[in-house]
Structure 1
Amino acid sequence: MTASLPVPDFVAYRAVRRGVRDLLRGRPGAWFHRVPACPEWTVTDLLGHLTAIAGRVLARHGGGPVSPAGAVAVPELLDHWDDVGEELDRRLEDAGGRSGAVMVMDAYTHELDLCAALGVAPPEDHAAEAPSFEVLVSGLSGSITARRLPSLRLCTTSGAEWTAGDGRPAATVTAPTHDLYRSLAGRRSLAQLAALAWSTAPEPWLPAFGWGPFAPPAQPGV
């Protein structure tokens, strides 16, 4: 990918919180909708997950108790997430701005899950996109290396490029930015992964897309 100044984690995380709030504003009927990318969760459950993760990361950075008081409906969860997030933003900034990358990736991925669940187009030029890609490419790279596979070049149709694995890439996979991101984040089935634009047969690399918390779903993902 073309070199650029890294986005500080606290900036990216603040953008995700703002994006999720905008998505849920004026949609009380959606609070208990299922989230297809996380089929065991409703929209409210997903937001509860985001606030819980924020609390854990804040505690690791020396923050105090973060359990939400009282109700756990969407408006209260959003307010609680902002309260925790604002303190977390300050601590991440003090830590140099690059100590919450996994949390940012998780939150941005779930923002995209919400977009899919609500039938809303994914955001463009999101501050969290680039740092989240870096986390996902790093995870895929480790998975490729652990399986002793040749490295893989990842390209978006808009011109961004990464290498996952060690050494000279033996294959290239190309997709629109959103589809490539969702593929790296365990939101695309093996059939969907194979249907991307590959320079050679994709089968050797498909198992590597299951790593850490991610696994391609059995059914086509969104």
Structure 2
Amino acid sequence: MTTTQPAPAPDFVGYPEVRRGVRALIGTRPGTHRRAVPACPMWTVTDLVDHLLEKAEVVLARLGGPTPAPAGPLEVPALLDRWDEAGDELDRRLAAAGGRSGDVLVMDAYTHELDLRAALGVPPPVEHLAWAPSFEVLVRGFSGSVAGRGLPALRIRTTGGSVWTAGKGRPAASVTAPAHDLYRALAGRRSLGQLAALDWSEAPGPWLPAFTWGPFAPPPHPGV
């Protein structure tokens, strides 16, 4: 994988912004705790926040923090408070570790903030500290999928001018889209039809299977 992007900020920097964003989204919209999250089938808003807390506590324990106690059936305000407690400690430990060991955690949290925004009908943020390191994680995983399937390299472009190369060797094609759509595509939030409808320089068929990688796969219906 190659990129023309500047080195991103330490990965943990965006994590507090995600926590603040999620709290603000929910806090200003009472009565949405049981709303479905279409990007995460079978999840409600409460389930999404519970997942964010669980991931934080698992990573914190891995970095030498306390083993998480069972949370039990908590409501969203209590989940957010507990997530902030774990997150504050995580911020300190990730900073002490050099700021590069929390990239997957930050990507997961930011991706779910976007899921929450879509569920609540809130547009994605124009700027976000977690975007650059999270996008790097997604491009890295997608690049491994392209290379692992023996596909020619693919140039990934945002309409804003950012460029990455996924896979190995000289790119045989390019795909271009707004930054948010590319992010959602790499994170398994765009259907095969939506992926094919992006701006491709060549027929996209050979590269569509590569969008299934790690925990991600295109949904059967158009994603948000």
Shorter-normalised TM range: over 0.9
Q: Quick one: distance in 2 between partners of 1:32 and 1:55?
A: 23
Deviation at 1:28, TM superposition (A): 2.3
Superimposed CA distance per residue, residues 82-137 of structure 1 (whole angstroms, 9 cap, x where no aligned partner): 00000000000000001010010000000000000000010111000000010000
User: Is 2:222 the counterpart of 1:220?
Assistant: yes
Q: Secondary structure at the match of 1:39?
A: coil
Q: Quick one: distance in 1 between partners of 2:121 and 2:129?
A: 21
- The one of 95, 98, 111 equivalent to 1:96 is 98
**Which amino acid in structure 2 is aligned with residue 144 of structure 1?**
V
Contact 1:10–1:90 under 8 Å retained in 2: no
**Which amino acid in structure 1 is aligned with residue 165 of structure 2?**
T
Q: Name the stretch that deviates more: 59-68 or 136-145.
A: 59-68
The change in CA–CA distance for 1:69 and 1:136 in structure 2 (over 3 A counts) is closer
- The one of 23, 26, 32 equivalent to 1:24 is 26
Q: Quick one: distance in 1 between partners of 2:33 and 2:124?
A: 19
Q: Quick one: distance in 1 between partners of 2:182 and 2:71?
A: 39
- The one of 45, 48, 54 equivalent to 1:46 is 48
User: Is 2:209 the counterpart of 1:187?
Assistant: no
Return the TM-score normalized by structure 1: 0.97
Deviation at 1:9, TM superposition (A): 2.1
Contact 1:31–1:44 under 8 Å retained in 2: yes
Contact 1:68–1:80 under 8 Å retained in 2: no
Q: Secondary structure at the match of 2:42?
A: strand
- Other-structure match for 2:37: 35
Q: Secondary structure at the match of 2:110?
A: helix
Runs of 4+ in structure 1 deviating by more than 6 angstroms, as ranges, are none
**Which amino acid in structure 2 is aligned with residue 32 of structure 1?**
R
Return the TM-score normalized by structure 2: 0.96
Q: Which runs of 5+ in 2 are unaligned?
A: none
Deviation at 1:2, TM superposition (A): 4.1
The change in CA–CA distance for 1:130 and 1:39 in structure 2 (over 3 A counts) is same
Contact 1:55–1:67 under 8 Å retained in 2: no
- Other-structure match for 1:66: 68
Superimposed CA distance per residue, residues 139-180 of structure 1 (whole angstroms, 9 cap, x where no aligned partner): 011101111000000000011110000011000000001001
Deviation at 1:69, TM superposition (A): 5.7
Deviation at 1:68, TM superposition (A): 6.4
Contact 2:5–2:162 under 8 Å retained in 1: no
Q: Quick one: distance in 2 between partners of 1:147 and 1:168?
A: 16
Q: Quick one: distance in 2 between partners of 1:141 and 1:65?
A: 34
Q: How many residues align?
A: 222
Q: Name the stretch that deviates more: 62-71 or 203-212.
A: 62-71
Q: Quick one: distance in 1 between partners of 2:148 and 2:5?
A: 27
RMSD: 1.2
Q: Which runs of 5+ in 1 are unaligned?
A: none
